[in-house]
Amino acid sequence: MPESIQADNKFEKHSRTAASCSSSTAAVPSWLNRHLQTAGITVNGPNLWDPQVHNTAFYERIRIEGSLGAGESYMDGWWDCEQLDVFFAKLMDQQVEKQFNGRWVALKHWLMARLLNLQSVSRAFEVGERHYDAGNELYRAMLDPTMCYSCGYWHNTDNLHQAQLNKLGLVCRKIDLQPGDKVLDIGCGWGSFAQYAAREYQAHVTGVTISKEQQKLARTRCDGLPVDIRLQDYRSLQGQFDKLVSIGMFEHVGQKNYDTYLKQAHALMPTEGVFVLHTIGKMASRLGTDPWIHKYIFPNGAIPSLTQISQACEPYFVIEDVHNFGPDYDRTLMSWLDAFTKAWPSLKDTYNERFYRMWRYYLQCCAGAFRSRNLQLFQLVLRKPGAGLSRYHSPR
């Protein structure tokens, strides 16, 4: 079982009663309340988005460890909040989360991102083993029938499944997919795009993933279709493909590898090829990622800014189109949360209560980030400069 879903007892040393808190610690709640009240949040308040603290050691933990302490103490049951998504959206709307970021923890992660290549070839499969291999039954229960684990496109629909079909169709139109096209899907997941493109457009799809569980299920789902699903890092790919897509994988590439990634994509496609890059994006160009997300959800992840993407594209691609539908990710995440919560009775014998709290925290904090527009969802259409003067027409 992956490390992130095992019971983690090492934080028991932090447990203290209110009586054992030092005088300096006892002053923290008023400091915390001052910041939270600017966002309309009150500790132990009456609203559904107000956090309810059960262990006063929480205050010292968040002061020292920032978001890592907040997330771990929630997993440990030290506090609850009925509407975590609203709580996080309010925090980020007012940028309150920056007031308690756990200076030393944040500095550690910034230095790691600056000094180390956290997404090197030797580390590439770590996120697959720890997150995507957490269990196909978990993802089957949470996702829609397409098994898309990325943002849906909620255009003229209130249904998650249709939103994911909309997204897959949109990508196919953006690359002008034609019958018989050879398509490379970088980060193919459980085969959602590969299956759709092969079935609906008669395309020949090669998909690569760094997750053994994803490969296994994707091969089953695409059986009988012209689809090849490989367990392979993008840096070792060879050959030529008419079209390229990458849906929700660029977040695992990392700033030190953007040039390598885009240079490789450039080499794998002909002059007239088209590449659709679908990725979560952040507002500002910064190194590192949230320490709690890094530890428990997406180890070694890095969310790019639009500036970082465009600068990395300069030697290789013309950016024909940028489409931002970040608010759609809020709806997608909340749909996943609803499905996960309903499925929990059938999952709880496989996972523990701490995992349940971790997963709900993950989905809701991310939903809040998109709702506040702290995070975006970018789809970029990329073509080689030598593609000529043919005009690109956005299909959306």
Pair (156, 57) in one structural domain? no
**How far, in Å, CA of 80 to CA of 58, rounded?**
11
User: Considering its fold, how many domains does the chain have in total?
Assistant: 2
Residue 216 sits in a domain whose CATH number is 3.40.50.150
Are 251 and 378 contained in the same domain?
Answer: yes
Whole-model pTM: value is: 0.86
Measured distance CA(151)–CA(232) in Å, rounded: 24
Task: Please report which helix (H) or strand (E) contains residue 275, including its range.
Answer: strand 274-282
pLDDT at position 99 is 60
What does the pLDDT read at residue 6? Answer: 43
* 106 within some domain: yes
Q: Is 337 contained in some domain?
A: no
Q: Please indicate, yes or no, if residue 331 is contained in any of the structural domains.
A: no
256 and 132 part of one domain: yes
Domain stop point among 115, 150, 177: 115
Query: What backbone torsions phi and psi does residue 196 show, to the nearest 5 degrees?
Result: -65, -50
Position 38 in a domain: yes
Token pair recorded at residue 366: 């991310």
Concatenated DSSP letters of 371-396: HTTSEEEEEEEEE-GGG-SPPP----
Catalytic residue among 81, 222, 313, 366: 366
As a whole number of angstroms, the distance between CA 89 and CA 324 comes to: 19
If asked whether residues 196 and 102 sit together in one domain, one would say: no
Residue 332 lies in a domain: no
Looking at the structure, tell me whether residues 14 and 130 fall in a common domain.
no
Asked if the structure places residue 240 within a domain, the reply is yes
pLDDT, position 117: 54
Do 281 and 146 fall into the same domain?
yes
pLDDT at 139: 94
- The reported pLDDT for the residue numbered 14 is 42
Residues 143 and 84 in one domain: no
Alpha helices in 119-256 (DSSP H): 126-127, 136-142, 160-174, 192-201, 212-221
Question: pLDDT tens digits for the chain (396 residues)?
Answer: 444 444 344 434 444 333 333 333 343 477 788 888 899 999 999 999 999 999 999 998 888 888 899 999 999 999 999 999 999 999 999 887 666 664 544 544 444 544 455 555 655 556 455 566 678 999 999 999 999 999 999 999 999 999 999 999 999 999 999 999 999 999 999 999 999 999 999 999 999 999 999 999 999 999 999 999 999 999 999 999 999 999 999 998 988 899 999 999 999 999 999 999 999 999 888 766 788 988 898 887 789 999 999 999 999 999 999 999 999 999 999 999 999 999 999 999 999 999 999 999 999 999 999 999 999 999 999 999 977 656 677 787
In a domain, 336, yes or no: no
Give the pLDDT of residue 299: 80
Give the strand order in the sheet containing 204-209.
227-231, 204-209, 182-186, 243-247, 274-282, 375-383, 318-324
Q: Note whether 297 and 196 are same-domain residues.
A: yes
Domain co-membership, 297 together with 206: yes
Any domain includes 47: yes
- For residues 133 and 47, state if they share a domain: no
Q: Which structural domain, as residue segments, surrounds residue 132?
A: 124-326+373-387
Does one domain contain both 148 and 93? no
* Residues 131, 173 within the same domain: yes
Instruction: Look up 151 and say whether it is catalytic.
Output: no
Using alpha carbons, select from 304, 190, 177 the residue that is nearest to residue 251.
304
